[in-house]
Amino acid sequence: MNVNPNPWIIESRIEYCKDRAKQNGFRLERGDGNNTINVVAQKEPYGKDVVIARCYEWMFVEMFLMGYEQGILEANIVATLARNRKAKPKEPEHIDSETCWCKPELDYTDPDTGVSVYVHRRLK
């Protein structure tokens, strides 16, 4: 079965890949032989004019860019979750008396010594 791809579809995929690459700070250029397409970084953290991928098909260029964008999204989600994570408030130290900040309940008073035992409350 011989399938001839529509050249308009191929051209639109190439333009789409070029636009996506530019949006992500990459440049696409012809590779050295074997019909390769180089994905070249234009910004940090990779540096300027650094080849970070060599692809043999436009489909692989598109997949690379999709994977890159997915990685950026996931990194942003993780950073946002870490930033928004609420730290548990530290509980102040308890004082061994009824004047403690947690307003403890009297549990037991020894009738012989008069020493009281209080049950302290915890922060929720």
- For 115, half-sphere exposure in the C-beta direction (CA atoms, 13 angstrom radius) is 3
d(CA 62, CA 13): 8
Highest mean pLDDT among 17-21, 97-101, 114-118 belongs to 17-21
* pLDDT value of residue 106: 86
* pLDDT value of residue 19: 94
d(CA 60, CA 65): 9
Which of 25, 50, 31 lies closest to 40, judged by CA? 50
Token reading at 27: 């440049």
Token reading at 59: 């489909």
Pick 121 or 41 by higher pLDDT. Answer: 41
Per mean pLDDT, which range of 21-35, 37-51, 62-76, 91-105 is the poorest? 91-105
Rg from Cα positions in the chain: 32
pLDDT band, very low/low/confident/very high, at 29 (cuts 50, 70, 90): very high
Residue 2 has pLDDT above 70, yes or no: no
The mean pLDDT of 69-77, rounded to a whole number, is 92
Which of 53, 19, 49 lies closest to 37, judged by CA? 53
